[in-house]
Structure 1
């Protein structure tokens, strides 16, 4: 056979080669549409919020490939649910196109609790949202600085700045409602322990102002109130009136003060002022 080919002219052999290439080229281009599935398109289904297993089954059944490219955490979405798909639902794409999915994490990441005390409600809300935390309940309490944060709570308990908490947590904000309009007599805190005095102030919707402590005090919680400003009565023995949200300053000592028969405390020695 080789001899037959070599015995033929070069021109004839060239024509044979060209013919073979032409047939192969024609065959290739005729099959190209089938190989690439040219003209075969599908509409991308909607798998938003579906579990990753269910979403994969739906997409592969329709003729798509699936690739999980990223994960985030959204507290309103179940774990392993689809948050985003690319191409988007309703897109017209070729058969076999890869659909990239972003799914929701099962375990929320941890973030540090910010310090919201003293911020306005709007600033506190923006700070929480920037860390993917939510504003839960809002509780109003009388205080001078209207609509500012007095406390930050998680599950009913005070949460300190810097503590690690789950992303998506609901933070309850205790906000100032300003001072009240109704005046009441100032409570008599003389002789109470510091802890008792704070409880009395809280029950009266009053704030704790400046606290001056005698150097001899070793246990602040059980130290005694020996002076308060404003006092229960003024120099004319009239009741001093205060409004909810106002503050009372306290002086603490390790010795319980004595009161005269009229209930007036004996003048205490002034605690040393810090330098």
Structure 2
């Protein structure tokens, strides 16, 4: 008798457990399955067309996100959630991501601008300063932008960055010989001083093709880079060698 009661209780508990599982899991799943429908694929459709399709099937539509792109027209469905062909209940809200034109801006020409001015110009057009390189340059003032990428006139997405190279001025121990041709003695001496060089020996040569008392030639070729400061000799033109004697007598 006790064994019979024990078996009866076991089968009773098993039956109750099965009934609970059936009512709480199997039946709801079956009902959902029976009352759900596959969601249509809305990708590559216009937003108005997608909304019409969803509403005709009893769904709700909401624009959840925008995708910035210039490869497709504006207002095209790029993605959706739930995914296409998922089984969902009628009345479900479907979230859509649509295309939006990406804003492009013309890259300004920053060559010759100071680094600070370059930063301000980039801010005004909606671009960022990405990487800044510094290098010595014999002809460009310290702090001047001497290179940029992308170059001025190119088109770039708003919010992207520009790479710049900024001059550090002349390198140390750098002396570049200026062009003294047709300068007066005083002007030649000033140019040499600006370059950190000295005026050396002065010779005179008769020449009727140039303005008198201007530089006819120099001992070091213009543009030559020197590692140390040395005197630069010059030859001054005169119309008549007597002019040299007269000038010396006046002094």
TM-score range, shorter-chain basis?
A: 0.3 to 0.5
TM-score (norm 1): 0.36
TM-score (norm 2): 0.39
